[in-house]
Chain A
Amino acid sequence: MNQISQTLDDLVSRFSAAVSAASDERELDAARVAFLGRSGEITVIRRGIGALPSAERPTAGKIINDVVATMEEQLIREAQRIQLRAFDAELATSIDVTFPAPASRLGTLHPIRTMTSTICTYFERLGFAVVLGPEIEPDYYTFDALNIPADHPAREGFDSFFITDSLLLRPHTSPMQIRTMEQHQPPIAILAPGTCYRRDAVDARHLFQFHQVEGLLVAEGIHMGHLKGVLTGLCRELFGPQQNVRFRPSFFPFTEPSAEVDTTCPKCKGETTTCNMCGGSGWIELGGAGMVHPNVLREMKYDTDVVSGWAFGFGIERLALTRYEIDDIRRFYENDPDFSRQLR
């Protein structure tokens, strides 16, 4: 019995020395296996209990169990010590966080799409649907149905590319008004972005290919104040919460009353007279708008006594030039990766 106690004392002191000397988890575990493992020293001692007189066996067992409990406690403490030291070591390391990361794997949307989706998202929030349509249109959708009969002077304003006598590359997105109204009964609330073509000589502000976004709302009780409200919201979405919208009378065959839509110059806010964006007027032109002409609604067999509506058409490049302060419209078609990256 005493011999067991003595052996245990010796064992504990060796164990204690081994585990406190362990400098990592591996050394600690080696000590655990040597003393407490399946064929470790404790197991050997336990096997010795059988040789003791039966009266001493319970006491011996208890002594061994107590020692094992003490050892296991120390093992936990040592494990904690090693863990803390590992933390300290890790925490003592540092890197140069300014070292450049690998290039982003994300691609870029074209700024025209970014601009278009910003506009569409705003209108979808209001309950509008976004519709897309063909770029080659019959003259009926482009002109006739929009109250621009064959000999109307306004046709010349849309200097169009013709494919045949009656097919042309659409010079505006307004045909989508007709396509939608042909297929649906009121109420109608749509936005129609898309590519348009006009025979414009190319310069910093003009291209023969460009994008427009058309809006159309036809329902009961719709008036011009709603047009101003929705477009004011759009301008605030695009250019900031202080934007205002101004309507100026204008003429488009498919709207009456018609308006040119201006918004506060986002650059100078109308506060300087030398602004290079607005020319000092304090306003930026966005495009045309107005109440849908009764002839257009009647062509669609809509009852003009019941429903009324408004429509607008804005050039997306024009909006993007203003929003991003771009110097030349041709940049949109150069596909310089840096251009898209800057404007993402």
Chain B
Amino acid sequence: MRAPIAWLREFVSLPTATNEIADRLAMLGFPVDAIERRPQISGVVVGRIATIEKHPNADRLQVCHVDVGAEKALIIATAATNVAVGQTIPVATIGAVLPHITIERRKMRGVESEGMMCSADELALNPEWFDDGIMQLDDDLPLGTDVVAHFGLSDDVLDVEITSNRVDAMSMIGLARELSAAFGSPLTTPTFENPGSGDNDAPSVTFESGDCTQFIAQRFDRVTNGIAPAWMRIRLALAGQRPIDRIVDISNYVMLETGQPLHFYDAREVHGGHFIVRNAHEGEALTALDDAEYTLTPQSLVIADEQHALGLAGLKGGKSSAISPDSTSLILESATFNGARIRTMSRVLGLRTDASSRHEKSLPPLLAQWGAARAAQLLIASGAHAYAAHQFGTAPSPAPVIEITEHAVERTLGMHVPLARIAMHLQSLGCEIRTETASSLTVAPPLWRRDLAIPVDLIEEVARIEGYDGILAVLPNVPVHSVSSAQYRLEEQLAQTLVALGYDELLTYSLHGSDDLKRAETAGIQTSHSSVEVRNPLSEEQRYLRYTLAPAMFLHLARRTTPARVFEIGHVFYPFGESVTENNVLTFGLTIDAPSEPAWKDQGFLMLKSDVEALILEVTGRTGTTTADQRNGLHPGKSATLLIDGAEVATFGRVDPRLQFAYELARPTYLAHVYLDRLPDRRIPHYVPPSKFPSTYRDLALVVSLDASAAQIEDIVSQSIGALCTSARIFDEYRGAQVGEGRKSLAIRIVLQKTDATITDEEADAAVGIATETLTRDLGATLRI
């Protein structure tokens, strides 16, 4: 909200420095987003045109005698065309400083000019909002009055942010009250007595909806519309509100001053002077003041007469009952609405106005009375007659009394504020102290502060006025508690380990368009899930939630120009009936330069497998077992699952070549998915002392059929030998002419050791003999010598 400091000064005495005011507002919870620095103007006074003569030497110039309250009138030559005798106008006298010019004595075509009459532009006001040519001031201003000081033209304007709980502060009086409390300087408000009286033809109001809680209707006669006084127009302009005409300006002025939006109806157009607040009919049409057409639904609340809707409640008036230049009889509406209703309406209609931005926060009912009273005062000042205000609906009811103790303030803020100061701060904000003991107060919050309901609300008020800077920074003793960091530690450890293994971490969006899914389908790969859809996406590119981290990783890897290793830890989402299942997944992948190797070898796969095993061992302390597997997106003959205690903790393998092609991945690509939710808790390792006796080993070359797996052979060896075998590991594979079609040769190293003696060659040979026999029996293996 734009707040001209000059306007605030009407209600409270403030420091000269704008920054001091802005800083204090910020520390009260009203940050100043911007400061409009006004130019420093001086030497401009109120003058009245006494005479006008034609310039002797120039057709386009006139020479005026201007009375500025001094002994001698000033002679001023002007090219302005809107001057007339008797006009009250701003005069820049010799030496005056205007935004772009300093006024000096000078001759205009032979006539000595002793100053300049000013236009709005020359006073740094928006010229489009004011009279063409010389600006017109009010006739009741004493001549010689300093124009700049009188209208506060050099006082800066603040753009103040007001939090949604403080609708009471969305006004000049509201902000002035805050500053009054903060600076300890008294607040002077106008009287809120409504001067209207009597009415034989009083308007009436019927509530058909509970969303209007109060409707003050007041009739005015003998209204002459026209231009508002200069002081009002200037204030509105400084506040960023364009002056229109007297009636519109008064309603805007009162709204900015008190916070209460008002609406005036042409009394002739309110059938029977009877207002009905009701839901709009389905399809009901309304033309607003600005000619916009609305087709309404019952979601909208309207102010209607007995015949049709007159306006959108709390948002905007309608055209049919708008004030026209010949309107002389008006009815004022000053109402209180249910904020939620106005907010919904505003959203549905896509219409937000100065009025709705206040009404949508549920205005305090008291403000409706203030608003009507101020409007009546201003209308009377313009010569209108005001009848009595009629209040319909619920009158403002006092909020419950709240108790606040010195102890509670200290317990919450960690700052001691003596009870007397607590009382002083609360009173400065309009609270009433009802009772007082040595350590506590009972407090009635003011009617305009509906946000103050419980003790802690008052504590915040005390803190705001005392100043948040008074809160001292101390460290708490954090007590022992039962919450565990295990899940976070796991993620950290995974990330750290992968970094050590050479992987770069990625961070990609969870939301994506359908393209990513289509690529797989186009490539001939059935997608394994459907996607969770967002109801209100920002764009089609963000309509779906990912169910795999792979596509984003592919897109990244396709951009990398050299072999890369990357990982991402993130959430993935699957539809689950009406709900959603969410999993935490780690995906890591690598690309390699294509090696030349036979089809039955894949070193990229082994690189990936090495990292999968290292990672799982690091975070779980377990090795798990690997089995061949087939997963969508991975090469069916080159993918595997890692199981721990029967749970699939990871799947990994080479990316399906069709997918690799679809994502334009130039290099063989390998991917591993680790399902974090399935990883077993880390085991606490227990130490087993090594044997004191040396080990020995035997290397065998076994020829087996192609379908025998390395894991099978290792298992048979270690199980058939038993405890003597400390390790059995395949370390080489050969296929080719020497072993024949359908067979392969595997080299295995068997490590043997005893815990109670040095193993002898005979014992080792016997053990290996058993293993060989078993391999021959179970797999038809032969030894290759």
Chain A residues near B (Cβ < 8 Å): 105-110, 112-113, 117, 120, 124, 126-132, 134-136, 151, 153-154, 156-157, 161-164, 167, 169, 180, 184-190, 193, 195, 197, 199, 201, 208-209, 217, 219, 221-226, 228-233, 245-251, 256-260, 291, 293-294, 308, 332-333, 335, 337, 340
Contacts and interface: CB of A to CB of B under 8 A. Distances in A.
A184 B475 contact: no
A112 B507 contact: yes
Contacts of B413: 223-225, 257
Interface in B183-209: none
5 A-B pairs closest in CB distance: A225-B414, A249-B29, A127-B478, A223-B414, A257-B460
A302 to B, nearest CB: 14
A134 B545 CA distance: 14
24 contacts: A107-B499, A107-B504, A129-B481, A131-B483, A132-B487, A136-B580, A153-B340, A161-B534, A161-B536, A161-B537, A169-B545, A186-B481, A189-B481, A223-B410, A224-B413, A224-B415, A224-B471, A229-B472, A245-B473, A246-B468, A248-B29, A249-B468, A256-B456, A340-B504
B556 interface: yes
Contact of B502 (A107, A208, A246, A250): A107
Given A225-B471, A248-B26, A187 B481 contact: yes
A106 B499 contact: yes
B4 interface: no
Contact of B412 (A128, A186, A224, A259): A224
Nearest to B468: A247
B474 A225 contact: yes
Interface string B483-499: 11101110110011011
Interface in B355-387: 360-361
Contact of A188 (B164, B415, B481, B567): B481
| Residue from the set A248, A260, A340 with the largest chain B CB neighbour count within 10 Å | A248
A153 B167 CA distance: 12
Of listed B471, B491, B501, residue having the most chain A CB within 10 A: B471
A315 B345 CA distance: 32
A130 B488 contact: yes
Given A108-B504, A156-B343, A293-B456, A169 B471 contact: no
Interface in B547-586: 556, 560, 564-567, 570-571, 573, 578-580, 582, 584
B473 A225 contact: yes
B500 A106 contact: yes
A189 to B, nearest CB: 5
A187 B479 CA distance: 7
A246 B26 CA distance: 11
A193 B488 CA distance: 9
Contacts of B415: 224-225
Interface residues of B, number: 88
Nearest to B559: A335
A335 B360 contact: no
Contact of B475 (A108, A120, A156, A230): A230
B175 to A, nearest CB: 14
A110 B494 CA distance: 13
Nearest to A285: B31
A188 B582 CA distance: 26
B536 A199 contact: yes
B164 A131 contact: no
Contact of A163 (B164, B414, B460, B580): B580
B488 A131 contact: yes
Contact of A249 (B28, B474, B483, B508): B28
B165 interface: yes
B457 interface: yes
Contacts of A167: 579-580
A228 B584 CA distance: 34
A259 B29 CA distance: 8
A197 B457 CA distance: 30
Contacts of B491: 132
Contact of B163 (A124, A247, A251, A337): A251
Contact of B534 (A163, A184, A294): A163
Nearest to B360: A153
Contact of B535 (A132, A154, A163, A308): A163
A258 B460 contact: yes
B538 A108 contact: no
Contact of A226 (B474, B489, B496, B534): B474
Contacts of B556: 335
A113 B504 CA distance: 12
A228 B473 contact: yes
A257 B478 contact: no
A251 B165 contact: yes
Contacts of A209: 509-511
Contacts of B508: 333, 335
Nearest to A132: B487
B506 interface: yes
B472 A225 contact: yes
Contact of B164 (A187, A222, A251): A251
B532 A335 contact: no
B392 interface: no
B412 A291 contact: yes
Contact of B499 (A108, A126, A185, A225): A108
Contacts of B565: 107
Nearest to B535: A162
Given A107-B498, A294-B454, A134 B414 contact: no
B511 to A, nearest CB: 7
Contacts of B457: 256
Given A124-B485, A129-B481, A217-B478, A226 B414 contact: yes
B538 A199 contact: yes
Given A136-B582, A189-B478, A250-B29, A291 B456 contact: yes
B463 A257 contact: yes
Interface centre among B164, B485, B509, B542 (most CB of A within 10 A): B485
B456 A257 contact: yes
Nearest to B532: A163
Contact of A180 (B28, B464, B483): B483
B655 interface: no
Contact of A129 (B339, B483, B500, B510): B483
A141 to B, nearest CB: 13
A308 B411 contact: yes
Contact of B482 (A120, A184, A246): A184
A233 B498 CA distance: 30
A225 B471 CA distance: 6
A107 B501 contact: yes
Contact of A110 (B164, B474, B506): B506
Given A120-B488, A184-B481, A256-B456, 7 more contacts: A107-B504, A108-B504, A117-B492, A127-B481, A153-B343, A195-B510, A225-B472
A163 B582 CA distance: 13
B459 interface: yes
Contacts of A291: 412, 456
Nearest to B478: A127
Contacts of B542: 208
B469 interface: yes
B507 A333 contact: yes
